[in-house]
Chains A and B, each alone.
Chain A
Amino acid sequence: MSRTVTDVICPFCGTLCDDIEVVVSDDGRKLHEVYNACAIGAEKFLHSQAKDRITRPRMRQDDGSWKEITYDEAIDYTARILVNAKKPLMYGWSSTNCEAQAIGSEIGEVVGAVVDNTATVCHGTSLIAVQDIGIPSCTLGEVKNRADRILFWGCNPAHAHPRHMSRYSIFPRGFFTGKGHTARKVIVVDPRPTDTANVADIHLQVEQGRDYELFDAFRVAFKGEQLPDFVAGIPKEKIYEAAEMLKSGRFVIIFFGMGVTQSLGKNHNIDAAIAVTRDLNEYTKAAIMPMRGHYNVTGSGQVWGWLFGFPYAVDLSRGFARYNPGETTANDLLRRDEVDAVLVIASDPGAHFPFSSVRKIYELPSVAIDPHETPTTEVCKVHVPVAFVGVEVGGCAYRMDNVPIETRKVVEPPDGMMTDEEFLRRVLERIKELQGV
């Protein structure tokens, strides 16, 4: 027999869909089927059931092989590398719950670590821009209920946030938007004609890496000033047309992604995008929102915000918190040999950092806490498998619009497996023992 758990939260992307239905065995030990989720989300739930899953910590041996160790040994190893380091890096945090993030923060304080999350390779540059110019934004329901102009810039929700367009942005019918997509105009700016661009009214195929110039051109167009004939490969007539389409809306929303945060200009691209949004508020109502990737990267920034005052890249080494991307960010720290031990949790820098940074992790004392086997676990000295947050343990997560939602436990983890929170709590206890406090 089986039963269906409803209102389940999908722990994949920042869309944080909360209408998933999961069919589990009566004893809650097996997960059979997943409904309503996108292909990626469904896979995430189902992968927890993999037969070949690693369920015990393991340590890399001198000959390159793995040796299974106990959780106690893994806790001791983790505590020791953090205590012995002068400046450890504790990186990741985006695929775990706020409860684990809070304990990790305390560990960071106690050992004088630098804590950084995956925003560092995702929307960190957006956060820098927000610090420079602010951000007029809204919740996703405002988009659903009011928006009639939708601009996707450097993002491709058709692939990265598969249910975004149907739940929140292009298609839903809301309070003031009863006609759904037929009453909305959609603009996509992307150097490729992506699957998202295919559903747009206007696609501006921007020259790669020239987004900053194009944003600036929009602002010039709003003010009715003259533009050069082409900006970023786009003829000025098309820019004026798109600018007019935005100004004539009742509620404009701009979504942006890695296409602008990771291209030349980075924070400046976002700064200019936010300036475009500010400008639009002179004429109509406009908001802007980053398409956050990991389902709880936002939460990590919130937890550190209230504990330290900074959303990522927080250097706690001198007993107080400092922040300066370019110095306290994971890739700069690794590249510059600023850290002497690495703890990775709930993320995969091995796959998602430039390889020059990955090699630095390999050279340092390191531990990876992750349910999966990944390139990161491959290069770290110790791998600690844990329960899947949002599947095998609940906890708080923050959606891309900063709305906090409590994820649900739907199935039991394999016997004897720890959660992130339990493991970190034990590490903190062990650190305090080692420090004699």
Chain B
Amino acid sequence: MDIWFFLIQVLNGIQYGLLLFLVASGLTLIFGIMGIINLAHGSFYMLGAYLTFWLLQSVDSLLLAIVLALPISAVVGYLIEALLVRVLYRRDHLDQVLLTYGLILIFNEAQRMLWGGDIHGVKVPAALNWSIPLTDSLSYPVYRIAISAVCAALAVGMYFVIQRTRFGMWIRAGASNRDMVAALGINVKLLFGAVFALGAVLAALSGAIAAPISSIGPGMGDTVLIICFVVVVIGGVGSIKGAFLGALLIGLADTFGKVLAPDFASFSVYAVMAVVLLLKPRGLFA
């Protein structure tokens, strides 16, 4: 592998990592503030992708479909928080795991009943459907670059929200000491509902923008979920910064694992996690 291809692989790894970050950020946010471990997070990713696919049958623009999919996801997220998750705040993590596990089953079946078992694809919007030639045989799809740009912009945006706004202050307070949030006189119910909805939106957005470069089918949320757990664990549960670095680390480990040790590509990701935990049992930024 010459240096040129090495650099392209780095680019591949970062692009994958940025997308992972977008999904994982919602997961870590929900945990950081609410102390809820949400296994159904991957289902929101799936929801975003399916909604985009579904809306594209009525509207022409991918952007419009995504914009429409987000409020729907937010409402679904908010309702689940208000109807089910809310009961769990006083329960232990075990109950949260089980309830959200039950939710996964329901989501998967609902997906099947609504959209069937077929596999769908979404077209890359024409404006972005071209590639930048890098070598004589390889070009880089512009849409992937666009995704990376969106993810990076959202990462920067999130950084500012968390560091500079009142909402961000609550998030930081919640991540370090959950009881403090209540003590600050915040309407906890509303905050939690909003955070859960936000988490759902982040996952759905990831699923939506990834739709044109992924295949939309049953069970697509599960794989994403597990890899996000790894990202969150590596970064430190509740830490957005950690999720960011964890995602990049996993993106690169996965990319190079596939090329250098294809027999252990998925395994290498978990090996990275094990090493991090050995050195820092609570992740890089807990």
- Please say whether chains A and B are actual partners in one complex: no
